[in-house]
């Protein structure tokens, strides 16, 4: 696979980043994951806008223009022949001369930019979407700026491990009794013709797929209610689902051992998935 590092397209085995890179030492980096369907980027503009926001919130320099980023995305997709999959992008504050908590002078230290592709044939026609996924709830102990897409993913990784140990697929995180989001996705339930999901704030990532799905809700004759909800309320719902660039709309069929409806993916979640795939392709 060919990857991109700071201006160069290289075989992945030859790509190098300094051990003093602040993302390696401090988790001082942000990222984006953009999906690819039919060899085309899905919602690139949304991801680019969120990246710009993450950089701004952390007072980090942009490594290049959005047009240049798009060019790099497209080139990597082409070189690696990706029909279905993802492009991962990471920007870090760069490699300072030594380990230091204080941010380096942006005049001296330039950001690091890394991109690579992930080939995922069958991403759209996913068997998981036909079966639905099971989740458990776990406490949300992450920091208070979850709206910034940082590479500090240790707790989400631990959450996925807790889910794996419990024999399920993922975990929904709960803070002060209310669901925030999934370990790497936004969380929703459906009751009647209403989609309920937590409102945007610093408590959750502002999902690009979330924005698209809520826009398309009207097309599915559904209403949207953005508010806090509990695990008990989601368990008592008709359907539930998650969204992310890597799963699109994925039905949730079980929460903490309680099956939703008849335990199969719900028709409305599947319809939303269909609409999302049609509209964004």
Q: Kind and range of the H or E element at 117?
A: strand 112-119
The residue within the footprint of ligand PDD, chosen from 114, 205, 260, 269 (CB under 6 A), is 205
For 199-252, the DSSP string reads PPSTTS---HHHHHHHHHGGGGT-EEEE----HHHHHTSSEEEEEETTTEEEEE
> Least distance from C-beta 82 to ligand PDD, angstroms?
16
Q: Which of 30, 245, 270, 272 binds ligand PDD (CB under 6 A)?
A: 245
Contact between 17 and 114 (Cβ < 8 Å): yes
In terms of Cβ atoms closer than 10 Å to its own Cβ (0-12, 13-18, 19+), residue 4 is buried
16, 120, 131, 149: which one is catalytic? 149
In a 10 Å sphere around its CB, with 0-12 CB exposed, 13-18 middle and 19+ buried, how is residue 213 labelled? buried
Residue 137 binds ligand PDD, judged by CB under 6 A: no
Check if 56 is active-site. no
The encoded tokens of residue 133 equal 């996924």
List the one residue from 243, 249, 254, 255 that touches ligand PDD (CB under 6 A): 243
Query: Quick check: 90 binds ligand PDD (CB under 6 A)?
Result: no
From the CB of 229, what's the least distance to ligand PDD, in Å?
A: 16
# binding residues, ligand PDD (CB under 6 A): 14
List binders of ligand PDD among 184-203 (CB under 6 A).
184-186
Distance CA 187, CA 183 (A): 10
Query: Whole-number minimum distance, CB 53 to ligand PDD, in Å?
Result: 12
Q: How far apart are CA 131 and CA 154, in angstroms?
A: 28
Q: Which is nearer to ligand PDD, 112 or 184 (CB)?
A: 184
Q: How far is the CB of 207 from ligand PDD (least distance, A)?
A: 3
Report, in Å, the least distance between residue 204 CB and ligand PDD. Answer: 6
**Angle, in degrees to the nearest 10, between helices 208-216 and 44-57:** 130
- Sites for ligand PDD among residues 16-75 (CB under 6 A): 33
**Of 244, 238, 192, the residue nearest 213 (C-alpha):** 244
Q: Where does this chain bind ligand PDD (CB under 6 A)?
A: 33, 181, 184-186, 205, 207-210, 243-246
Q: Which residues are annotated as catalytic?
A: 149
């Amino acid at each position: 696979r060919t990857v991109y590092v700071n201006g160069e397209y290289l075989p992945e085995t030859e790509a190098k980043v300094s051990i003093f890179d602040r993302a390696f030492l401090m988790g001082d980096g942000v990222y984006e994951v953009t999906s690819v369907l039919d060899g085309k980027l899905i919602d690139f503009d949304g991801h680019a806008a969120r990246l710009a926001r993450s950089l701004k919130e952390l007072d980090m320099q942009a490594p290049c223009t959005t047009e240049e980023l798009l060019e790099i995305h497209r080139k990597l997709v082409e070189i690696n022949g990706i029909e279905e999959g993802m492009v991962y992008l990471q920007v870090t504050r760069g490699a300072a001369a030594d380990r230091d908590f204080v941010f380096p002078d942006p005049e001296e230290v330039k950001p690091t930019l890394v991109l690579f592709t992930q080939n995922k044939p069958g991403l759209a026609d996913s068997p998981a979407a036909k079966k639905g996924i099971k989740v458990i709830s776990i406490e949300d102990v992450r920091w208070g700026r979850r709206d910034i897409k940082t590479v500090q993913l240790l707790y989400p990784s631990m959450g996925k491990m807790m889910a794996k140990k419990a024999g399920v697929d993922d975990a929904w995180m709960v803070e002060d009794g209310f669901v925030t989001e999934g370990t790497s996705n936004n969380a929703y339930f459906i009751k009647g013709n209403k989609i309920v999901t937590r409102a945007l704030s610093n408590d959750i990532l502002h999902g690009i797929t979330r924005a698209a799905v809520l826009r398309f809700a009207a097309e599915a004759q559904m209403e949207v209610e953005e508010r806090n909800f509990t695990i008990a309320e989601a368990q008592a719902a008709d359907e539930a689902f998650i969204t992310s660039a890597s799963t699109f709309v994925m039905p949730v069929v079980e929460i903490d051992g309680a099956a939703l409806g008849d335990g199969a993916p719900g028709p409305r979640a599947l319809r939303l998935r269909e609409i999302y795939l049609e509209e964004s392709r």
